[in-house]
Amino acid sequence: MKAAGQSVGIDFTGLTDRSPNTLLAHMLSDHTLEKYGWKKQNEVQEKMFKGYFTEGIYPDADALAYMARECGLDEKEVREALADDGLRHKVTNMVAENNEKVVGGVPMFVINGRPAFSGARDPSSFHMVFDVLLGYRREVR
């Protein structure tokens, strides 16, 4: 995994020695998308990813609130979102739906409501899918 990460600029340090329950991280991600849009969501997700895989930060509620604050979100608002039972229920249902679609890796790319591919990908993967959707054919190089 370390070599695969290095090939796309990710430093998997192994500093975190336990696997987290990712529900809170998914709740933060959904909250950020709904309130701030996809660009801020991407920034927060990148911070969480780097925090866990590179810096060894275990993603509990305190760490997630801290990382969100570093991305410009209001920490009190984030803590409230992470404690929100309605959001917890929504995200739990989304995770269950995605598990039914057989999500095999992260990130998972869903295009036109269908799983396209998962894991770190070269931009050419996206080009091929979008070309097919647009009805174009491109020579494979």
| pLDDT tens readout for residues 39-82 | 999 999 999 999 999 999 999 999 999 999 999 999 999 999 99
The tokens for 9 are 């600029």
Per-residue confidence (pLDDT) for residue 141, from 0 to 100: 46
The tokens for 70 are 């570093």
Mean pLDDT, the chain, as a whole number? 86
- 3-state SS string over 74-104? CHHHHHHHHCCHHHHHHHHHHHHHHHHCCCC
Higher pLDDT, residue 25 or 3: 25
Residues 6+ apart with CB under 8 A from 21: none
Among residues 53, 59, 54, the alpha carbon closest in space to that of 20 is found at 59
Q: What is the model's pTM?
A: 0.72
Per-residue confidence (pLDDT) for residue 17, from 0 to 100: 84
Radius of gyration of the chain (CA): 17
